[in-house]
Each structure stands twice: as structure tokens, then as C-alpha cells.
Amino acid sequence: MADKYAKFYGMDVDPERNVTVCCGSTETMLSTLLAVLNPGDEVIVFEPFYENYGPGCIISGAKPVFVPLEPPDFGFDPDRLARAVSTRTRAIVFNSPNNPTGKVFSRAELETIATLCREHDLLAITDEIYEHIVYDGLGHTPIATLPGMAERTVTISGISKSYSVTGWRIGYAIAAAELSDGIRRAHDFVTVGAPHPLQEAAVVALGLPGAYYARLRAEYQARRDLLYGYVEKAGFVAWKPQGAYYILTDVAHFLKQYGVEDDAAFAMWLIKRVGVATVPGSSFYAHSELGRTKIRFCFPKTDDVLRDAGERLLKLQS
């Protein structure tokens, strides 16, 4: 892991002091939150978000404070982010590339977050599990590589997405030694240890050549373009993802057209009437009303499956 971060991002990582291996990135996030938060702390979380962040804060005794990512580009208002910081704020949590929006945080956005972290002595806790799945020539920049951020960032990633082994629960945190010490203590009480045979497999995966990652990006971009084309043609309001492997859509007009109440009901309606499974958008919002007209598609499937799903979705226009 230390060698990989040096190779890809120029980060100086001591494997003995800066790396904690956990049972997947979700457990890594929970162990991190348990390690760095105290009851009464506040944590800023960008919304929509991977659904475990909010509960992880609550389990840790902290209060999540949500800042919206607004379509179509899912940017955030820097002033609103600054106003969300209080005397109780301990950390900012974000996911780039983002699930469910596919947003890749720009360098300027990372700088805005980093400035607040430095000015208010905050931690940046970053879920970078989709770091190698970015499109259209974009790259991934860990916020830990920005000036003054290495010592105040917990970089979380894992092997499940980049190496297509989502059931193999190997995740890890890269952090300063004093932060790593707490994360290791929390991890030990949460799951004791990650399975050794899967760690051995992860060593092989982390050593794959650059050509592997280039092929990964190209194949996923082709899948994105394939499904996105169908989704748009079928009449969904869709936002083209810059990374990860999801397409978030708005279906307000379909709810009205087919007399369906909300996103959860529409997801079930799509399964029963069309034969395509999706995830209700409200799953990713603390303010569920913001997701009640949204549906998330997922495209890590074969081309044949994506074409089949796309042809079924086109029936919505018939």
C-alpha cells in the first residue's frame, strides 16, 4: 500500500505507522469515526452521500451536519460550507469520486475544503474507493497531497471497486501516526482483523501495472456511455457521471405520468413492470425529500446485460 501511494500520488507513507488494514472501506470509515470523534462533536457531510456516513457519525456520538451537492454538476456553495463550520466541528467527510452522483471533486473544490481544515483545525476524512474509476481524461487527487493536509487527512480506500472483488472485505486508512493509533484501536474492537488470505490477494492486486488501470477506466467509460445513452433515450433526466459506476437520475415526470408516489415506489414499479432494478435516491439523503424523485442506476455489468436493461427501459417511451 505504501509503495502504491508513493507511485501514484507521491505520498510518503510509512507502512508501520501510517497504514491500518480493515474489513472493507465501510468498516474503515466506522473505525475512523470512532477513533477521532467525541460525543457532541459535529461532522460536515456532503449530501447526497454513501448511506453509512451519517449513521457512523451517530454511532460515534457525533452530529452530522449536511451540505448539499447541487445538480447538474453537484458542486457545493463555498460560503454555505464555511457557515456549516462551528466551534464543535471536528471533521469534513466526503467521497470522491462520489456515490451516487459520480462527481469528481475538482482541485479548486479540494483547495476550498483544505483551507477550511487548516483554518479551523479540522480533519478531512475521505472515501476514495473509486479512485481509479474516472472518465473523460480526469484524474484523481487525494486531498492529503495538498499543502498542510497530510497530517490532518484520513485517506480511506480498498480493493473492492478497483479490482472487482466487492465481497472481499479489505479496506485501509492512510493517516498520520497519532491518528492511525486510534483507528487501529477502534478497528481491533470492531472486527479484530481483516482476513489474511484476502490481504495476500490484495498485495497482488496493488502491484498490478499501470496498463491495468487504463483498461479499467476505458471499459467502465464504455459501459457508462452505453447505459447513459439508453437512460437518456428512455426519457430520464440523467446526470453524466465523471467517475464511479453509477448514474443518478430524476424521475419526477415519470412519477406523475404513471401515478407513482415516490422513488421507493418507482423502484419497485420498475422491477415489476419493466424488469430493471435500481436504488431509490432517498437512500442517499438525510433529507429524504431531496431524493424522493431520484433513482440511481449501476453499470458494473456486462454489455449484454446493460443492453437488455436499456431496451427494457425504452418501453417507458412506448
Cα angle for residues 243, 249, 253 (degrees, 5° grid): 165
2 pLDDT higher than 90: yes
In the chain, what percentage of residues exceed pLDDT 70?
100
The amino acid present at 199, given as its one-letter code, is Q
Q: List, in order, residues 6 or more apart from 160 with CB less than 8 Å away.
A: 24, 25, 129, 166, 167, 168, 169, 170, 171
pLDDT tens digits, one per residue of 42-86: 999 999 999 899 999 999 999 999 999 999 999 999 999 999 999
Span 285-312, mean pLDDT?
97
Q: How confident is the model at residue 119 (pLDDT cuts 50, 70, 90)?
A: very high
**Helix residue ranges per DSSP H, 234-277:** 252-258, 263-269
Q: What's the CA gap between 299 and 227, in Å, rounded?
A: 7
Q: Do 33 and 43 contact (CB within 8 A), yes or no?
A: yes
Q: How many residues appear in the chain?
A: 318
Exposure string for 48-81, b = 16+ CB within 10 A, e = fewer: bbbbbbbebbeebebbbbbbbbeeeebebebeeb
pLDDT tens digits, one per residue of 196-208: 999 999 999 999 9
Span 10-29, mean pLDDT?
96
pLDDT tens digits, one per residue of 181-226: 999 999 999 999 999 999 999 999 999 999 999 999 999 999 999 9
- The reported pLDDT for the residue numbered 205 is 96
- The reported pLDDT for the residue numbered 120 is 98
Residue 211, H or E segment:
helix 210-233
In the chain, what percentage of residues exceed pLDDT 90?
98
1 pLDDT higher than 90: yes
Lookup: cell for 272: 415489476
Domains of the chain, CATH where assigned: 2-206 (3.40.640.10), 211-317 (3.90.1150.10)
- The reported pLDDT for the residue numbered 170 is 96
Q: Do 132 and 213 contact (CB within 8 A), yes or no?
A: yes
pTM: 0.95
Q: Do 144 and 174 contact (CB within 8 A), yes or no?
A: yes
- The reported pLDDT for the residue numbered 254 is 97
Span 106-135, mean pLDDT?
98
302 pLDDT higher than 80: yes
Q: What's the CA gap between 263 and 251, in Å, rounded?
A: 8
Q: How many helices (H) and strands (E) does the chain have?
A: 11, 11
- The reported pLDDT for the residue numbered 317 is 85
Q: Do 73 and 108 contact (CB within 8 A), yes or no?
A: no
Q: What's the CA gap between 82 and 80, in Å, rounded?
A: 5
Q: 114: helix, coil or strand?
A: helix
318 pLDDT higher than 80: no
Average predicted confidence (pLDDT) for the chain: 97
Span 20-41, mean pLDDT?
97
